[in-house]
A = this chain, B = another copy of it.
């Protein structure tokens, strides 16, 4: 079977997958198809109950989660700020924590080269699709350039399926905020205190409090800062 057809059949089996097991199989098929060290799909979630599938060793996955490495992993941090796929070389590995992390990853069999595609879903959902390998810079640049489109599509399909199979993990459909609530939360997010917000919106501070409290309630937030954080990460407000 030609390379193109092989990829085609992987994509199709992915499109038709009807359970999480199908995603795991797909990553293994992709590892074989691209002939690389590792393929991984990683749903990033602060709560620590993140989902992932791929060819990393179980040991490494466990360690990553136990250590909450997504907080210092330059790949996660770097991808979070970008839209397009990124070569790992472009991340900031200068901090001590990042370098220690990298060394440990290599010990666990992660390749020295990597290419990651960020994917975003509704309500602030965020995931990474990564392919990584051990080779020199030129070979890797060549690989990533040649397979850019395919990798983007694969990332897209993996995330689509992951969202489909994990309804309970899906961030709750954030109840939309009313226009006034959006105004209030937005102004708080840009640093205004309540007096300034009330003044800007030309309402009394008491009225403002009603908005903040109802927004907090709708967002399930414990305090104003939490409400702002949730509204931001769910894309309900833009700063």
Q: Which residues of A contact B (CB under 8 A)?
A: 11, 44-47, 70-72, 76-77, 80-84, 92, 95, 97, 118, 120-126, 149, 152-153, 156, 159-160, 163, 171, 173, 176, 179, 182-183, 186, 188-193, 221-226, 228-230, 232-239
The answer to whether residues A229 and B226 also contact, given A121-B83, A238-B77 and a CB cut-off of 8 A, is: no
Please determine whether A126 and B235 come into contact, CB atoms closer than 8 angstroms.
yes
Query: Looking at the complex, which one of B71, B84, B182, B225 makes contact with A224 (CB distance below 8 Å)?
Result: B225
The answer to whether residues A223 and B81 also contact, given A176-B92, A179-B97, A238-B45 and a CB cut-off of 8 A, is: no
Query: Looking at the complex, which one of B92, B176, B229 makes contact with A239 (CB distance below 8 Å)?
Result: B229
For A95, the chain B residues whose CB sits under 8 A away are 176, 179
For A191, the chain B residues whose CB sits under 8 A away are 221-223, 225-226, 229
The answer to whether residues A234 and B81 also contact, given A92-B176, A176-B95, A226-B191 and a CB cut-off of 8 A, is: yes
For A238, the chain B residues whose CB sits under 8 A away are 44-47, 70-71, 76-77, 80, 123-126
Please determine whether A233 and B239 come into contact, CB atoms closer than 8 angstroms.
yes
The answer to whether residues A80 and B179 also contact, given A189-B229, A190-B226, A229-B239 and a CB cut-off of 8 A, is: no
A124 to B186, CA, bound (A): 13
Please determine whether A77 and B232 come into contact, CB atoms closer than 8 angstroms.
no
A121 to B224, CA, bound (A): 25
For A81, the chain B residues whose CB sits under 8 A away are 122-123, 171, 173, 234-235
A47 to B186, CA, bound (A): 11
Please determine whether B72 and A179 come into contact, CB atoms closer than 8 angstroms.
yes
The answer to whether residues A225 and B189 also contact, given A80-B238, A239-B46 and a CB cut-off of 8 A, is: yes
Please determine whether B82 and A122 come into contact, CB atoms closer than 8 angstroms.
yes
User: Would you mind naming 28 contact pairs between A and B with Cβ atoms under 8 Å apart?
Assistant: A46-B182, A46-B190, A46-B239, A71-B237, A71-B238, A72-B182, A76-B238, A81-B173, A81-B234, A82-B122, A83-B122, A83-B159, A97-B179, A120-B121, A123-B238, A124-B124, A124-B237, A126-B238, A156-B156, A191-B221, A191-B222, A191-B223, A191-B225, A191-B229, A192-B222, A193-B223, A228-B228, A232-B233
